[in-house]
Amino acid sequence: ETGVTQSPTHLIKTRGQQVTLRCSSQSGHNTVSWYQQALGQGPQFIFQYYREEENGRGNFPPRFSGLQFPNYSSELNVNALELDDSALYLCASSFLPNQPQHFGDGTRLSIL
Amino acid sequence: SQQGEEDPQALSIQEGENATMNCSYKTSINNLQWYRQNSGRGLVHLILIRSNEREKHSGRLRVTLDTSKKSSSLLITASRAADTASYFCATDGLDTGFQKLVFGTGTRLLVSP
């Protein structure tokens, strides 16, 4: 039990739609990172937020955006969904950016 | 793109045997971590080894790091059926100011009773 919860667990969308995924971190964890994990692959870093500011970004287009709130919750928003966006989306939190991360169980997003 | 490459991609052993997984990476790193992922679940942090360390132990886990070869190995001794999972190495690079973890493609371990 990592104390990181994600919702929803599963989601089905169609191409072109928009989606918001949510994450609730452990209390006190000021850092949250989001990853995309395609089937059979390792997770790929999307971006990280530290104290509500974006603290770094991977090779994902601007239609992937995020928010972090003072209550240790955060969101991943994806606009104009594409078929290749089908994946498991994981959030991970830590107290500081350079500490081991605690992962939630992810949201499985399917794009039809 | 993935930086780490795990080897083998899949490993099948009997309970009680040892399991060894290898990871290679491409750039200089601060730390290397190993994570476990049970099917359909999130990742669980197993162990972190810093770039100035060569070996680290945690319970039945032993990790080695060879920065000259840009490689690491994870040894699980006396394996159990509950160890069945995918194992990933993850690195964070010297050129980033934050812990941007770069994961490999993973090793799928099956431990049969």
pLDDT confidence of A3, banded at 50, 70, 90?
confident
Q: Which chain A residues are within 8 Å of B35, Cβ to Cβ?
A: 103
Task: Assess contact for B31 and B37: CB atoms under 8 A.
Answer: no
At residue B82, φ and ψ (nearest 5 deg) are -70, -10
Contacts by B15-19, CB closer than 8 A, 24 or more apart: B15/B79, B15/B80, B15/B81, B15/B111, B15/B112, B15/B113, B16/B78, B16/B79, B17/B79, B17/B111, B18/B75, B18/B76, B18/B77, B18/B78, B18/B79, B19/B75, B19/B76, B19/B79, B19/B83, B19/B109, B19/B111
Name A72's Cβ contacts closer than 8 Å, sequence gap at least 6: A24, A25, A26, A27, A28, A29, A93
Q: Which chain A residues are within 8 Å of B36, Cβ to Cβ?
A: none
Q: Decide if B2 touches A, using CB distance below 8 A.
A: yes
Check A101 against B88: CB less than 8 A apart. no
**How many Å apart are CA B73 and CA A50, to the nearest integer?**
31
Q: Tokens 């287009």 map to which residue? A: A61
Q: Decide if B24 touches A, using CB distance below 8 A.
A: no
pLDDT confidence of B95, banded at 50, 70, 90?
low
> What are B60-82's pLDDT values in tens digits?
999 999 999 999 999 999 999 99
Q: Residue A57: is its pLDDT beyond 50?
A: yes
> What are B13-44's pLDDT values in tens digits?
999 999 999 999 988 888 899 999 998 789 99
